[in-house]
Amino acid sequence: MVSGPLQCGKSSYVRYLDNRALNIEAKGRDNKYYTVGMDMGSLKLNGFEVFLFGTPGLLRFSVMRDVVAGGADGIIFMFDAANPENDEKAISILNSIRKVMDPNTPIIFLANKQDKENARSPEVLRAQNYLPEKCKIFPTSTKTGLNIEKSLRYIANEIYDQYKETLEIMQEFETNIKGLAEKLSMEKGQMRDFLNSLELKRFINIDRKNKTYRVRQGLENLS
């Protein structure tokens, strides 16, 4: 999920990574275009298939943000580093996302528009918005490409690290789903939903006819 306040660069972030990304937008009275649905992009990073969903920056589209945040594996939250007057709306959106996201969902922050002379550094932005010291903030620019790919690789690694131990266990039970269910203390319905979820995330391939699965090869932390 790529989220943040209005005109901070969310759509540009997604398009930088996937120039074929789709965007549902509308022209406002000020002749600017605003995302009213979402941005949708995808790309491959080594063994990973990454899907990007950019959410609207207008406050009234909270329902769309809630839907995406509830199913996101990771969140890239963007601040407009050159426009501190947008910080209040950014924090409002961030707080609303935190209410619906899983507390274990990895999140990183971007101090975007570093190509502008008045752009604030990550340290200044952190202090002004009371962001935790341990949170990761990347100085970025969707115009120059500064740290765009680096930030995506970082969040992808954070997501993979959450699944790594489980995937290692699953490699031992690829032909024994019942044994995996016992190992993970899951009932039949829970195991079905769990495997379907991992298939959607492209971590495994399921052979439903033979009731087996395979953990995809080549999954490792990105350099």
For 1-57, the DSSP string reads -EE-STTSSHHHHHHHH-TT-EEEEEE-TTS-EEEEEEEEEEEEETTEEEEEEEPP-
Question: For 145-183, how does the pLDDT look when each residue is reduced to its tens digit (9 = 90+)?
Answer: 999 999 999 999 999 999 999 999 999 999 999 999 999
Tell me: pLDDT of 30 over 70.
no
Which pairs with CB-CB distance under 8 Å and at least 24 residues apart come from 45-50?
A: 45/152, 45/153, 45/156, 45/222, 46/218, 46/220, 46/222, 47/216, 47/217, 47/218, 47/219, 47/220, 48/156, 48/160, 48/202, 48/219, 48/222, 49/202, 50/152, 50/156
Task: Give the domain ranges of the chain.
Answer: 2-158, 164-215
pLDDT at 108: 98
Is the pLDDT at 111 greater than 90? The verdict is yes
- Domain 2-158 CATH superfamily: P-loop containing nucleotide triphosphate hydrolases (3.40.50.300)
pLDDT > 80? residue 218: no
* More confident: 193 or 66: 193
pLDDT > 90: what percent of the chain?
A: 77
Per-residue pLDDT of 132-147, as tens digits, reads: 999 999 999 999 999 9
At residue 2, does pLDDT exceed 70?
yes
Residue 67 has pLDDT above 90, yes or no: no
Output the pLDDT for position 48.
82
pLDDT at 29: 65
pLDDT confidence of residue 138:
98
Average pLDDT over every residue of 17-44: 77
Q: What is the mean pLDDT of the chain?
A: 91
| 37 confidence band (pLDDT: 50, 70, 90) | low
Looking at residue 56, its pLDDT comes to 84
